[in-house]
């Protein structure tokens, strides 16, 4: 059981830390002289995300995710949890909220991925095939990229003062993934079940790429232009 937990932790937390480093490295020292976020806050909310993710996983584990109302309900509830945490006054209209949302979502996704990986590997009772490992890894990538992308989306909405419209966007993506995953959870005959899994993993992976390469850079550019305009006004005075 010890080695199963270690493998599950590597599969779940590994992608979390990798994506966190990949996305945040361009917005902190030494890439920039003045970081766009506080490292202490980032690691605090990564820890909070991991704790909340464990709680979410316990509920998921007890319920049939292949059942349509459960699949839809979890998509809404999980994103609502992120919205509730991120929509406190201290985060509103703050640029770094998009980064807080990112790591909160990554932490939640990493914890959920670890829980499912551990449960799956334990259920296999030591007889683990390469295809089993591949499925667990795909699930982990799905949970982590989905959590990070939707968390950053909601964070961006709070930062812009449009929390509910961005929350709706995050929910729609999450619902799409969960609906496709019903085909996998219902044990549709191979290889069709693997097709469902691959598609449901590709959607959040692409969405994370969009957040990483489009959404966050766009917000940074807008903030830089706003400061440039403000500086010009000060000089004129």
- Statement: residue 128 has pLDDT above 80: no
**Residue 2 has what pLDDT?**
62
Q: How far is CA 102 from the centre of its chain?
A: 6
Instruction: Look over the chain and give the mean of its residue pLDDT values, rounded to a whole number.
Output: 90
**Residue 51 has what pLDDT?**
97
**Residue 125 has what pLDDT?**
66
Please tell me which residue, 92 or 32, carries the higher pLDDT value: 92
Residue that the structure tokens 């996704």 belong to: 109
User: Among 204, 224, 228, 77, which Cα is nearest to 153's?
Assistant: 204
User: Among 107, 95, 125, 109, which Cα is nearest to 32's?
Assistant: 95
151-187 pLDDT, tens digit each: 999 999 999 999 999 999 999 999 999 999 998 888 6
Q: How far apart are CA 151 and CA 154, in angstroms?
A: 5
Q: How far apart are CA 149 and CA 173, in angstroms?
A: 10
């Amino acid at each position: 059981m010890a080695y199963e937990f270690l493998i599950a932790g590597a599969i779940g937390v590994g992608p979390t830390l990798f994506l966190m480093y990949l996305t945040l490295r361009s917005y902190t020292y030494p890439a920039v002289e003045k970081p766009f976020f506080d490292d202490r806050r980032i690691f605090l909310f990564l820890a909070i995300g991991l704790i909340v993710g464990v709680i979410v996983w316990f509920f998921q584990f007890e319920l049939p995710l292949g059942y349509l109302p459960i699949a839809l309900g979890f998509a809404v509830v999980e994103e609502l949890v992120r919205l509730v945490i991120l929509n406190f006054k201290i985060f509103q209209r703050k640029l770094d909220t998009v980064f807080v949302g990112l790591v909160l979502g990554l932490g939640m996704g990493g914890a959920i991925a670890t829980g499912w990986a551990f449960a799956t590997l334990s259920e296999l009772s030591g007889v683990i095939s390469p295809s089993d490992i591949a499925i667990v890894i795909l699930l982990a990538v799905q949970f982590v990229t989905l959590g990070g992308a939707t968390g950053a989306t909601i964070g961006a909405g709070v930062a812009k003062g449009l929390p509910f419209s961005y929350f709706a966007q995050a929910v729609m993506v999450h619902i799409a993934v969960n609906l496709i995953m019903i085909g996998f959870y219902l044990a549709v005959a191979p290889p069709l079940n693997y097709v469902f899994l691959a598609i449901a993993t590709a959607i959040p992976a692409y969405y994370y790429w969009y957040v990483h390469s489009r959404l966050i850079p766009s917000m940074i550019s807008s903030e830089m232009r706003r400061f440039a305009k403000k500086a010009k006004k000060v000089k004129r005075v």
